[in-house]
Amino acid sequence: MAVIGIDLGTTNSLVSVWQDNKSIIIPNALGELLTPSVVSVDEKGMVLVGRAAKDRLVTHPEHTASQFKRLMGTSEKLYLGRRQYSAEELSALVLKQLKADAEMFLGVPVTEAIISVPAYFNNHQRTATLNAARLAGLKVDRLINEPTAAALAYGIQEAQDERRFIIIDLGGGTLDVSILEKFDDLLEVHATSGDSFLGGEDFTAAMLGAFCQQLGFERQSLTREERAHLYRTCEEAKKALADQHEVQMTVSLRGQQHNAVFSRDTFVEACSTLLERIRLPIERAVVDAGMGRDDFDEVILVGGATRMPMVRSYVGRIFGRIPASVIDPDLVVAMGAAVQAALKERNQSLRDTVLTDVCPFSLGLEVSKHIGDQRSPGFFSVLIPRNTVIPASRVNRFYTIANEQQRVTAGVCQGEQRMARNNIRIGELVVPVPRGLAGEEAVDVRFTYDINGVLEVQAEVVSTGKRETLVIQNTTSAMDESTLAKSLKEMERLKFHPREDSANLALMGEAERMWAEALGDERVYLEELIEEFERAMDSQDLQICDTARQELEQRLARLRESRGHW
C-alpha cells in the first residue's frame, strides 16, 4: 500500500506519490496538479474544495474560506454559512479531497501520508496539522519540514558527492530557510529559520493596498465581494508581472469599470518592507550554521512566491549570485514529501540515503535564578538548543528553591527569548519532592526529542530515584480527544459533491465569478449562458451535460480573449 506525500499549502495543496523510482504529482479531478486550498459550502450545504471554491470567493465570500493555514494552531473559527469551522476542520476537508484524488489515481485505498509543514511551525501548529490529518482519516506518522522536503527533491537527483545548499522557501503564507549539506549519501540539515507570517499572499495584499490608492478607494469601505474581486485581480496581475513590466488591470467596482496600468516598479515599492523581512531569517540561518554567504554551492528558491522577479533579485543580491530553481517551485515540496514517504518505507531505490533534520526551536524549562541576594522567576533554561540534530536527548539538574518545598513545578517552553514569558508554553512538569532545605533536593530533567517531533520530558528525583514522565505529544494540546471525536462525527455528516461533477462545478463557479465581475451587455450574455448550462445540468443526462460544458468553455474562452486575461 502506497504512502502519499502531501504539501498542504496556504494557497495551493498538492498530493504526490513515489512510483517507478520518481515522484509523481497526482492530478485532481480536473486534471490539474495544484488544488487551491479553498473550501466553500453551497446553498444545499454541500462542500466544494479547490478551483470551484476559489471562484466562489468572489461570488459568495460569506460561504467560502481561504488561507486558513495561517490560523492553524489558534482557536479562531471561521463561519461558512451557518456553521463554524476551525482551521483544522477546513484543512481536513482539503486533505480529504486530496486523499480522494490519490485513491482515484492509485486505485487503492490510501490511509497513510506524510505531510509537509513549514519548518518554522511551532508545536501548536504542528499539532493542529496532525489533528487535521486525523479528521481526514489519514494516519500521519511524520511531518516533514517543507525546505527539507525541497532539499530531498533536489538532493536525490544531485549527482555530485559534496554539496552545500541553502533553500529559501517562500510559499503562500510562510517563509522558511534551511541550510543543508550533502555528503556521500548523507543529507544533513545544518540550520533552519523562518517567518511564519510572510508569504505570497502578503505581497498580493500589499499590491491591493497600492492599487486601491491608485484608484482612490478607501480599502476599509470595500465590501467583502468587492475586496475579493480586487484581490483576485491583483493576484492575476501579480502573476502577470513576473513576465512583463506593466500590466493592464480592469476592475468593476460600484457599477463602474476602472482601468489602470500597474507597473513592476510600483509593485516593488509597495512591497519594500516585505522584502526586508526576508533578510533576517536568511541571515539568522547563515549565522547559526556558522557559514558565510560564499560557502554555498547553490542557492535554491522554492515556493510559488519566488516566481516574483523582485524576490529572486533580492535573494540574488544578498548572496551575490543568481539563485537556482530547476524544478518547478510549486511542485518541489510535494515531490520531496513523496521522497520522504519512500524513504520511510525503505524503498529499494532510495535505501542508502540518510536524512538528518534539526529542531527549529530551542526547548527548555522555566526556572528561577539567583541574582545578587534575590531570587527571580521566569528565566528560560535551554536543554535542547535550536538546530540540534534530532533525535536528541539532553539532561540537566535543577534544585529546589524554598525550604519545605513539596513539589517542583516548571513550565516547558519553546522559543528563543531569554525570558520564558516571551516564549511559547507547551506544557508543564510537576514533580513531587521530599521536604527539605532549599537547594538540598534536586531533580534531573531529561528532554528527549524524537524524529517525529514528539518531546518527552522525564524527571527523576535524585534522592529517591522516583520518576515522572510527561509526554508532550503532537496530538494532545489545543484540540483534546473529545472535541476531536465530536468534530470527526460532524465531518462525516458533511456532504461532498460527487467527483464526476467537479468539472461542471468548477466551470459553473468560473462563469458565475465572471458574471459578478462583468457589467452591462457582457453580464446579460453571461447570465444567459449560465441559465442554459444550469438547464443542461438539471437534465441529469451525462451526454447533454458534456456538450453543454464544452460549449460554455469555448464561449468563456472567447470572452476572456476579448479582455486579455480575466
Nearer to other proteins, 309 or 316 (CB): 316
The yes-or-no answer on residue 139 being catalytic is: no
Nearer to other proteins, 173 or 411 (CB): 411
Q: Which helix (H) or strand (E) holds 527?
A: helix 520-538
* Grid coordinates belonging to 243: 513576465
Residue 151's alpha-carbon distances to 132, 185, 285, 344, in angstroms, are: 25, 13, 15, 16
Q: What is the distance between the alpha carbons of residues 416 and 385, in angstroms, rounded to a whole number?
A: 9
Please report how close the Cβ of residue 170 comes to other proteins at its closest, in angstroms.
Answer: 18
Q: Per the residue annotation, which of 54, 69, 182, 238 is the catalytic one?
A: 69
Nearer to other proteins, 163 or 344 (CB): 344
The yes-or-no answer on residue 7 being catalytic is: yes
Nearer to other proteins, 1 or 371 (CB): 371
The yes-or-no answer on residue 169 being catalytic is: yes
Nearer to other proteins, 151 or 234 (CB): 151
The yes-or-no answer on residue 69 being catalytic is: yes
Please report how close the Cβ of residue 145 comes to other proteins at its closest, in angstroms.
Answer: 14
Please report how close the Cβ of residue 458 comes to other proteins at its closest, in angstroms.
Answer: 14
Q: Per the residue annotation, which of 42, 169, 195, 201 is the catalytic one?
A: 169
Cβ-Cβ contacts under 8 Å for 381 (sequence gap 6 or more): 364, 365, 366, 367, 396, 398
Q: What is the distance between the alpha carbons of residues 235 and 55, in angstroms, rounded to a whole number?
A: 13
Sequence letter at residue 286: V
Q: What is the distance between the alpha carbons of residues 563 and 151, in angstroms, rounded to a whole number?
A: 41
Please report how close the Cβ of residue 98 comes to other proteins at its closest, in angstroms.
Answer: 25
CA 405 to chain CA centroid, nearest Å: 45
Assign residue 162 a region (left: φ > 0; alpha: ψ between -120 and 50; beta: otherwise): beta
Q: What is the distance between the alpha carbons of residues 169 and 145, in angstroms, rounded to a whole number?
A: 11
Q: Per the residue annotation, which of 42, 89, 101, 146 is the catalytic one?
A: 146
Please report how close the Cβ of residue 370 comes to other proteins at its closest, in angstroms.
Answer: 9
Residue 214's alpha-carbon distances to 232, 270, 290, 330, 342, in angstroms, are: 17, 12, 45, 31, 50
Nearer to other proteins, 96 or 386 (CB): 386
Give residues in contact with other proteins (CB under 8 A).
183-186, 276, 279-280, 283-284, 286-288, 292-293, 295, 317-318, 320, 344, 352, 354, 356, 362, 369, 371-372, 376, 378-380, 382, 385-386, 389-393, 416-419, 421-422, 450-451
Please report how close the Cβ of residue 328 comes to other proteins at its closest, in angstroms.
Answer: 29
Residues catalogued as catalytic: 7, 69, 146, 169
